[in-house]
Amino acid sequence: MPFYGQHIKAARLHLQKSDPVMKRIIKWVGPFHAKTNRDRFGTLVSSIVSQQISVAAARTVNTRLLEATCDLNESPKFTPEAILKFDVDGLRELGVSRQKASYVLDLAEKVHSGVVKLDDLPRQSDDAVIEILTQVKGIGIWTAQMFLMFSLGRMDIFPWDDLGIKNAITRHYQLGELPNKSKMLEIATAWRPYATVACWYLWQSLELEDD
């Protein structure tokens, strides 16, 4: 589902009332403008390809892969069937590493065969979505959490192990060192049930600090 305006308004009001630090961050960053991506398979392919490389490099590889696997006369979109026309070596020629190529092919095979039913995920709980997606090689809990946030639009996801979130919390909550899981969960208690929105604001605050 998309991020609905009334839900974001409720989230901002809740965060501002429950957490004075988050209130300052929201005022600094401004309006929430994240969008959900309804192309679930494409989102997962791009997530795998983009792991541990720069944004620019990921964009280049994803574009090359999309051009090779899609009919550009149609709306360009990854499909399992198109991906499965390639083997690992074929994907490597497009700039995908051998390991990631095996992951992308595993995803395409599991979706094509129905082991992973992407259309069913919106009706599943957060934990069930994570369990289903992590059956795929190369998809861990963090990738599944990003999918919950920005593909399914789940409002209360807290990727406590995300380094960006840890760095932002360390800065804004004036901690002397990166927080452990217990401290992260303690701080995030005030954000529930809108942890997704709080995390988006924390990520955005890091980008503003880097400008």
* Whether residue 211 has pLDDT greater than 70: no
Higher pLDDT, 93 or 53: 93
Share of the chain above pLDDT 90, in %: 81
The owner of tokens 């979109």 is 77
**What is the residue type of 92?**
R
106: domain range? Answer: 40-150
| 145 and 82 together in one domain | yes
Record the tokens describing residue 79, joined without a space. 């499909």
- Catalytic, 89? Answer no
| 61 and 108 together in one domain | yes
How many distinct structural domains can be found in the chain? Answer: 2
Categorize the per-residue pLDDT at 72 as very low, low, confident or very high, splitting at 50, 70 and 90.
low
Please pick, among 19, 89, 162, 210, the residue that the annotation labels catalytic.
162
Enter the pTM of the model.
Answer: 0.90
| 44 and 140 together in one domain | yes
Distances (CA, A) of 169 to 44, 49, 189: 27, 28, 13
Reported as a single tens digit per residue, the pLDDT across 73-94 is 466 788 999 999 999 999 999 9
* Whether residue 1 has pLDDT greater than 80: no
Give the mean pLDDT of 58-75.
79
| 123 and 168 together in one domain | no
Which of 150, 179, 202 is the C-terminal boundary of a domain?
A: 150
Q: What's the mean pLDDT when you consider all of the chain?
A: 92
